[in-house]
Structure 1
């Protein structure tokens, strides 16, 4: 095994510039010995790095030298240069410099009306670009799903059933649990408020309208946004980081058909089922409060619910469920496919997925409310 020489450096100052002379082997085995000392260099003059006395060098040493070049250029206000002859140092440092990105300086937070308008404009354009990209992804997804449904033998039934179990059946307990207690809370609040007017019996109508029309399906959408969206985004993002999606394309498989379409079909099918269970659980919570706190017999509660709350309120709530499921799975799949090669991008994509899904569900529910109000339902 060849002898190795520890890396060394010496900084020599002159009137015009500073010269950093390198010696020894700058390899991954020993470069950490001089790393901390190099970080503390703060030359105020233009720097030259002399590599004529340099021994062996690898990418680790080239990275440390390139970082020193960047720091020297930043401190002195002019580019640092490499001088001296070496077989591989100049070429290797140039390659490292080409692929290394300087650490961006933190943006300066300027005040004033102009800066406020600039940030507002950038934010608006970002929202507009995100909306256009999401709509484009929606169109591509719908075309893919329609084509697959017209050719059922091409559907991946195993994947669809697996997603239905994972995102649907496994979510039933938590959705039913939450909806049950929300129904109890609504019943308690309604009973407390209506008791001031001796109208406790109208708690039945309050539970019926709120659960059938809003709370059942909205709670389902919120749980899906927090549970399923994060899961889908993390799964697809991990596949993207491991280059599994690139491997699929190499094998001639389309990610839209293999990854996105089964999830979309499964969620559109399972979301109404989850919303139905959530609605029943919420009504059960109201029945429990009516029985224990208001002395309303469950049979009387159910009979009054049937006579006082029209069935169209149930269909109003159910009509929202497939839309909520479609929106959640679209956002989750799109954000997962946008993940880069770093863990930070996966975390950002997962957070963005959950936030966008929650916002979309609330906004779409408001649009549904306005739409049905105009229809008089």
Structure 2
């Protein structure tokens, strides 16, 4: 039977520990405590005198050698193989983080959302700059402009949307007139329903609802189209053959949205006033000629200017948000759906924020 595990400390030659006996779990005893009490430098661990070595003994020797930056010598081939496996397994294990409390978790989620929002805003601003640079290159060299792609986007963004935008605007005009008439009837002022319909549709709701509809219809399509092209590496192939994706894909979409939003917004405002006038004719006995004459009297031309100024800005924001999110797709097909949803939410949010800004701005300049 082999002797229990032991060692001798030889301070010569920078310090050597000479192990002997049985370095296994059964006979290791208090070896770990005695190794912890070793004082002075140790540069070499001599294992020639050991009879047996198991995983526990190899771990103790390895840990001591690691802590003292010492080298291990004297192991036979089998012992060296075991020692090497133990050394390879010595790596830190990540302990799971302590779960946060409800309040701390809420703060963490809010902070993460704020950081992500600023990162998205930063990326969107950079994308706007890249679009402006691409537009400058096209202006400097008009032959690079994609006429056919732009005209096709005119049809997709504008002509194909006339039906749904007209129906939506017509129904909204009816709702505004009906609700306004109900409230104004309490004061005997049903005639002012015409003022309400005319000003709110031409100044605010016509272009705002059109922008929201275009964001959900065309902005999502832009994100899905570019995202799919990014996923199938078509955009990378375009760059390889020297075609700029910003000029070939992004610029026609942005230009079509910028040019079509004023037309769609004006169209939506007219249809909304027609819906409101129809309800006034049916419910309030206000004939169409009176409705039109009253509209001309109470709706200033500045309301039309306000809508036409906001429309191109909304169109640019919607198109850039959709194209930007589409160009960010990477990984798998799930990203296409995620980015498409993000594009719609982002575009609608920015449109509403800008609409609030325009409302304050035009009031300050006297267009109210």
Could you say which TM-score interval applies, normalised by the shorter chain? 0.7 to 0.9
Corresponding residue for residue 265 of structure 2:
275
Corresponding residue for residue 233 of structure 1:
223
TM superposition shift of 1:277: 0.7
Asked if structure 2 preserves the Cα contact closer than 8 Å seen for 1:240 and 1:341, the reply is no
Using the size of structure 1 for normalisation, the TM-score is 0.71
Q: Give yes or no for the alignment of 1:338 onto 2:328.
A: yes
Corresponding residue for residue 39 of structure 1:
none
TM superposition shift of 1:145: 1.5
SS of residue paired to 2:293: helix
Cα distance between partner residues in 2 of 1:186 and 1:115 = 43
Cα distance between partner residues in 2 of 1:169 and 1:180 = 17
TM superposition shift of 1:132: 1.0
Q: Give yes or no for the alignment of 1:123 onto 2:102.
A: no
Corresponding residue for residue 295 of structure 1:
285
Corresponding residue for residue 363 of structure 1:
353
Q: Give yes or no for the alignment of 1:186 onto 2:212.
A: no
| Bigger shift: residues 297-306 or 124-133 | 124-133
Corresponding residue for residue 123 of structure 2:
133
TM superposition shift of 1:342: 0.5
What is the root-mean-square deviation of aligned Cα atoms in Å? Answer: 2.4
Residues 204-249 of structure 1: CA deviation (Å, up to 9, x unaligned):
1001110010010001111011111111111111111111011101
- For structure 1, the residue ranges without an aligned partner over 5 or more in a row are 1-15, 17-45, 47-77, 81-104
- For structure 2, the residue ranges without an aligned partner over 5 or more in a row are 1-24, 26-54, 56-86, 90-94
SS of residue paired to 1:252: coil
Q: Give yes or no for the alignment of 1:164 onto 2:176.
A: no
Corresponding residue for residue 246 of structure 1:
236
CA change 1:120–1:179 in 2 (3 A) is same
Which is greater in Rg?
A: 2
CA change 1:113–1:370 in 2 (3 A) is same
Cα distance between partner residues in 1 of 2:142 and 2:288 = 45
TM superposition shift of 1:151: 3.0
Using the size of structure 2 for normalisation, the TM-score is 0.72
SS of residue paired to 2:300: coil
Cα distance between partner residues in 1 of 2:294 and 2:355 = 27
Asked if structure 1 preserves the Cα contact closer than 8 Å seen for 2:262 and 2:307, the reply is no
